[in-house]
Amino acid sequence: MRFLGNIEAKLDAKNRVFVPAVFRKLLDNGIYAQAEEGSQNRLLYLRKDVYQDCIVVYPAPVWEEELSELRARLNKWNPEEQELYRQFMLEAEAVEMDINGRILIPKRLLLKTGIEKALRFLGVDNTMEIWAKEALEQPRLDPELFKSRLQELMTKTPE
Protein backbone atom coordinates (compact mmCIF):
# COMPACT_ATOMS: atom_id res chain seq x y z
CA MET A 1 0.00 0.00 0.00
CA ARG A 2 1.50 3.31 -1.11
CA PHE A 3 -0.29 6.60 -0.60
CA LEU A 4 0.45 9.25 -3.22
CA GLY A 5 -0.99 12.72 -3.43
CA ASN A 6 -1.03 16.24 -2.04
CA ILE A 7 -4.68 17.01 -1.39
CA GLU A 8 -6.27 20.06 0.21
CA ALA A 9 -9.01 19.65 2.81
CA LYS A 10 -10.75 21.61 5.55
CA LEU A 11 -11.65 20.85 9.13
CA ASP A 12 -15.30 21.23 10.03
CA ALA A 13 -16.50 22.94 13.23
CA LYS A 14 -16.02 19.71 15.22
CA ASN A 15 -12.41 19.19 14.01
CA ARG A 16 -13.42 16.43 11.61
CA VAL A 17 -11.97 16.08 8.14
CA PHE A 18 -12.79 13.87 5.18
CA VAL A 19 -9.97 11.50 4.33
CA PRO A 20 -9.41 12.14 0.60
CA ALA A 21 -11.37 9.76 -1.63
CA VAL A 22 -8.23 8.45 -3.35
CA PHE A 23 -6.80 7.45 0.05
CA ARG A 24 -10.12 5.98 1.26
CA LYS A 25 -10.30 3.88 -1.88
CA LEU A 26 -6.80 2.56 -1.27
CA LEU A 27 -7.71 1.73 2.34
CA ASP A 28 -11.00 0.08 1.34
CA ASN A 29 -9.40 -2.00 -1.41
CA GLY A 30 -6.40 -2.88 0.72
CA ILE A 31 -6.39 -3.39 4.46
CA TYR A 32 -10.11 -3.03 5.03
CA ALA A 33 -11.19 -5.24 2.12
CA GLN A 34 -10.67 -8.23 4.42
CA ALA A 35 -12.98 -6.81 7.10
CA GLU A 36 -16.25 -8.52 7.87
CA GLU A 37 -18.97 -7.40 5.47
CA GLY A 38 -20.86 -4.41 6.82
CA SER A 39 -18.17 -3.72 9.40
CA GLN A 40 -17.46 -0.07 10.05
CA ASN A 41 -14.28 -0.78 11.99
CA ARG A 42 -11.87 1.41 10.01
CA LEU A 43 -9.25 2.13 12.61
CA LEU A 44 -6.44 4.62 12.01
CA TYR A 45 -3.74 5.87 14.35
CA LEU A 46 -2.66 9.50 14.52
CA ARG A 47 0.63 10.69 15.93
CA LYS A 48 2.57 13.91 15.78
CA ASP A 49 5.62 13.38 13.60
CA VAL A 50 8.89 13.09 15.50
CA TYR A 51 10.71 15.62 13.30
CA GLN A 52 8.11 17.89 11.69
CA ASP A 53 4.96 19.78 12.67
CA CYS A 54 2.54 17.40 11.00
CA ILE A 55 0.30 14.50 11.98
CA VAL A 56 1.15 11.05 10.65
CA VAL A 57 -1.87 8.86 9.89
CA TYR A 58 -1.15 5.14 10.15
CA PRO A 59 -3.53 2.45 8.92
CA ALA A 60 -3.92 -0.03 11.81
CA PRO A 61 -1.68 -2.78 10.33
CA VAL A 62 1.09 -0.27 9.59
CA TRP A 63 0.85 1.13 13.14
CA GLU A 64 1.05 -2.36 14.64
CA GLU A 65 4.12 -3.16 12.54
CA GLU A 66 5.87 0.12 13.48
CA LEU A 67 5.03 -0.31 17.15
CA SER A 68 6.28 -3.90 17.17
CA GLU A 69 9.56 -2.80 15.61
CA LEU A 70 10.01 0.01 18.13
CA ARG A 71 9.13 -2.24 21.07
CA ALA A 72 11.57 -4.91 19.85
CA ARG A 73 14.39 -2.35 19.87
CA LEU A 74 13.62 -1.07 23.37
CA ASN A 75 14.20 -2.78 26.69
CA LYS A 76 11.21 -2.13 28.95
CA TRP A 77 13.46 -2.78 31.97
CA ASN A 78 15.71 0.13 31.01
CA PRO A 79 14.13 3.28 32.51
CA GLU A 80 15.47 5.61 29.78
CA GLU A 81 14.20 3.37 27.00
CA GLN A 82 10.84 2.98 28.73
CA GLU A 83 10.55 6.79 28.90
CA LEU A 84 11.31 6.95 25.19
CA TYR A 85 8.48 4.50 24.52
CA ARG A 86 6.11 6.45 26.80
CA GLN A 87 6.93 9.68 24.99
CA PHE A 88 6.23 8.01 21.66
CA MET A 89 2.88 6.70 22.92
CA LEU A 90 1.97 9.98 24.62
CA GLU A 91 1.42 11.66 21.27
CA ALA A 92 -0.57 8.82 19.67
CA GLU A 93 -4.32 8.51 19.28
CA ALA A 94 -6.59 5.85 17.77
CA VAL A 95 -9.47 7.16 15.65
CA GLU A 96 -12.14 5.44 13.62
CA MET A 97 -13.06 6.64 10.17
CA ASP A 98 -16.84 7.06 10.11
CA ILE A 99 -19.18 5.75 7.41
CA ASN A 100 -18.77 9.05 5.51
CA GLY A 101 -14.97 8.80 5.50
CA ARG A 102 -14.31 11.43 8.18
CA ILE A 103 -11.88 11.30 11.07
CA LEU A 104 -11.90 13.42 14.20
CA ILE A 105 -8.52 15.06 14.82
CA PRO A 106 -7.87 15.66 18.54
CA LYS A 107 -7.43 19.32 19.42
CA ARG A 108 -4.12 18.65 21.17
CA LEU A 109 -2.61 17.33 17.91
CA LEU A 110 -3.93 20.33 16.00
CA LEU A 111 -2.35 22.68 18.53
CA LYS A 112 1.01 20.86 18.51
CA THR A 113 1.22 21.02 14.72
CA GLY A 114 -0.24 24.49 14.10
CA ILE A 115 -3.01 23.07 11.93
CA GLU A 116 -6.10 25.25 11.83
CA LYS A 117 -8.93 25.12 9.29
CA ALA A 118 -7.12 24.61 5.96
CA LEU A 119 -4.88 21.57 5.71
CA ARG A 120 -3.27 19.19 3.27
CA PHE A 121 -3.04 15.43 3.18
CA LEU A 122 0.28 14.21 1.83
CA GLY A 123 0.73 10.58 0.81
CA VAL A 124 4.05 9.30 2.15
CA ASP A 125 4.73 5.64 1.44
CA ASN A 126 2.44 3.51 3.66
CA THR A 127 1.20 6.45 5.75
CA MET A 128 -0.56 9.76 5.19
CA GLU A 129 0.52 13.06 6.71
CA ILE A 130 -1.70 15.98 7.63
CA TRP A 131 -0.07 19.41 7.40
CA ALA A 132 -1.14 23.00 7.85
CA LYS A 133 -1.93 24.08 4.28
CA GLU A 134 0.65 26.86 4.23
CA ALA A 135 3.44 24.54 5.43
CA LEU A 136 3.39 22.74 2.07
CA GLU A 137 3.01 25.83 -0.12
CA GLN A 138 6.79 26.11 -0.61
CA PRO A 139 9.35 23.38 -1.35
CA ARG A 140 10.59 21.59 1.78
CA LEU A 141 14.21 21.85 0.60
CA ASP A 142 16.02 24.30 -1.64
CA PRO A 143 15.61 22.85 -5.17
CA GLU A 144 19.37 22.76 -5.82
CA LEU A 145 20.07 21.07 -2.49
CA PHE A 146 17.29 18.56 -3.21
CA LYS A 147 18.80 17.69 -6.62
CA SER A 148 22.32 17.28 -5.29
CA ARG A 149 21.27 15.16 -2.29
CA LEU A 150 19.05 12.95 -4.42
CA GLN A 151 21.84 12.47 -6.96
CA GLU A 152 24.28 11.62 -4.16
CA LEU A 153 21.88 9.12 -2.65
CA MET A 154 20.96 7.43 -5.93
CA THR A 155 24.54 7.12 -7.20
CA LYS A 156 25.91 5.75 -3.91
CA THR A 157 26.92 2.10 -4.05
CA PRO A 158 24.67 -0.05 -1.83
CA GLU A 159 26.42 -1.62 1.14
pLDDT at 110: 97
- The Cα–Cα gap between 114 and 141 comes to 20
Distance between CA atoms of 130 and 95, rounded to whole angstroms? Answer: 14
Q: Give the pLDDT confidence score for residue 65 in this predicted structure.
A: 94
CATH architecture of 6-60+92-155: 3-Layer(aba) Sandwich (3.40)
Interatomic CA distance for residues 11 and 107, integer angstroms = 11
- Kindly report the number of other CB atoms within 10 A of residue 66's CB atom: 17
pLDDT at position 39 is 46
pLDDT of residue 34: 52
Q: What is the pLDDT along the chain (159 residues), one digit of tens a residue?
A: 799 999 999 999 999 999 999 999 988 886 555 554 444 458 999 999 999 999 999 999 999 999 999 999 999 999 999 999 999 999 899 999 999 999 999 999 999 999 999 999 999 999 999 999 999 887 777 888 888 888 988 998 877
Specify the pLDDT at position 38: 45
Per-domain boundaries in the chain? 6-60+92-155
Looking at residue 32, its pLDDT comes to 53
User: What is residue 75's predicted lDDT score, i.e. its pLDDT?
Assistant: 93
Question: CB neighbours of 27 closer than 8 A, spacing ≥ 6?
Answer: 1, 19, 42, 59, 97
Whole-model pTM: value is: 0.86
Torsion-angle region of 78 (φ positive above 0: left; ψ -120 to 50: alpha; else: beta): beta
